[in-house]
Chains A and B, each alone.
Chain A
Amino acid sequence: MEIVVLIKPIPEAESRLRATPDGRGPEPEGIKFVLAGYDESAVEQALLLKESLPGSSVHAVSFGPARCEETLRAAIALGADRATWVEGPPEGSDDPVLAARALAATLQTVPHDLVLGGKQAGDDEEGIVPGAIAELLGIPSFGYVTDLRSSGPSGLTFLRPTEAGVEQWEAPLPCVVGLQQAWNDPRSAKLPNILKSRKAPILKVDWPTTSTALALEAKPRSIGEKFELPAPRTGAKMIEFKTPEEAAEKLVRLLREEAKVFP
Chain B
Amino acid sequence: MPDFSLTPEQESLRDAARKFARAEMAPKAAECDKTARFPEEIYRKAWELGLMNLNVPTEYGGSGLGALEQCLIVEELAYACGGMTTSIIANCLALEPILLGGTAEQKSRWLTPFCAEYHLASFCLTEPGGGSDAAGLQTRARKDGDGYVLSGEKCFITNGPHASLFTVFATLDPSLRSKGIAAFIVPGDAPGIVRGKDEDKMGHRASSTSTIRFEGVRIPSTQRLGSEQDGFSIAMRTLDQTRTPIGALATGIAQAALDHSARYSLERKSFGKAIAEHQAIQIKLANMAQAVHAARLLTWHAAWSIDHGHPSTLESSIAKCFASDAALRVADEAIQIFGGYGYMRDYPVEKLMRDAKLTQIYEGSNEIQRIVTARELLRQYG
Which residues in chain B, 1-51, are within 8 Å of chain A measured between CB atoms?
8-9, 12-13, 15-16, 19-20, 48-51
> In this assembly, does B373 line the interface, its C-beta being within 8 Å of a C-beta of chain A?
no
**CA A194 – CA B65 in complex, angstroms?**
12
Total residues of chain A contacting the partner, CB 8 A: 14
Nearest residue, chain B, Cβ from A191 = B50
Contact across chains for B58 and A192 when beta carbons are under 8 A apart: yes
Type the 1/0 row for A32-44, where 1 means its CB is closer than 8 Å to any CB of B: 0010000000000
> In this assembly, does A198 line the interface, its C-beta being within 8 Å of a C-beta of chain B?
yes
Type the 1/0 row for A71-98, where 1 means its CB is closer than 8 Å to any CB of B: 0011001000000000000000000000
Nearest residue, chain B, Cβ from A69 = B8
* Nearest 5 A/B pairs, CB to CB: A191-B50, A191-B63, A190-B50, A198-B9, A194-B12
**CA A34 – CA B19 in complex, angstroms?**
11
Provide the residues of chain A in CB contact with B65, threshold 8 Å. 191
Provide the residues of chain A in CB contact with B51, threshold 8 Å. 191
- Known contacts A194-B13, A194-B16, A195-B13: does B49 contact A189 (CB below 8 Å)? yes
Nearest residue, chain A, Cβ from B61 = A192
> In this assembly, does B64 line the interface, its C-beta being within 8 Å of a C-beta of chain A?
yes
**CA A192 – CA B12 in complex, angstroms?**
11
- Known contacts A198-B8, A198-B9: does B16 contact A192 (CB below 8 Å)? no
Type the 1/0 row for A5-44, where 1 means its CB is closer than 8 Å to any CB of B: 0000000000000000000000000000010000000000
Chain A contact residues, CB within 8 Å of chain B: 34, 70, 73-74, 77, 188-192, 194-195, 197-198
Write the nearest CB–CB distance from B55 to chain A, whole angstroms: 12
Write the nearest CB–CB distance from A51 to chain B, whole angstroms: 16
**CA A188 – CA B134 in complex, angstroms?**
41
Q: Select which of B12, B58, B63 is within 8 A of A73 by beta carbon.
A: B12
Type the 1/0 row for B132-156, where 1 means its CB is closer than 8 Å to any CB of A: 0000000000000000000000000
Provide the residues of chain B in CB contact with A194, threshold 8 Å. 9, 12-13, 16
* 8 more CB-based (< 8 A) A-B contacts, given A70-B12, A190-B48: A70-B8, A188-B16, A188-B19, A188-B49, A191-B16, A191-B54, A191-B63, A194-B13
Contact across chains for B20 and A192 when beta carbons are under 8 A apart: no
**A–B complex contacts, Cβ < 8 Å, 13 sampled:** A188-B19, A189-B16, A189-B49, A191-B13, A191-B16, A191-B49, A192-B50, A192-B58, A192-B63, A194-B13, A194-B16, A198-B9, A198-B12
- Known contacts A73-B12, A198-B12: does B64 contact A192 (CB below 8 Å)? yes
Type the 1/0 row for B83-101, where 1 means its CB is closer than 8 Å to any CB of A: 0000000000000000000
Write the nearest CB–CB distance from B19 to chain A, whole angstroms: 7
Provide the residues of chain B in CB contact with A70, threshold 8 Å. 8, 12
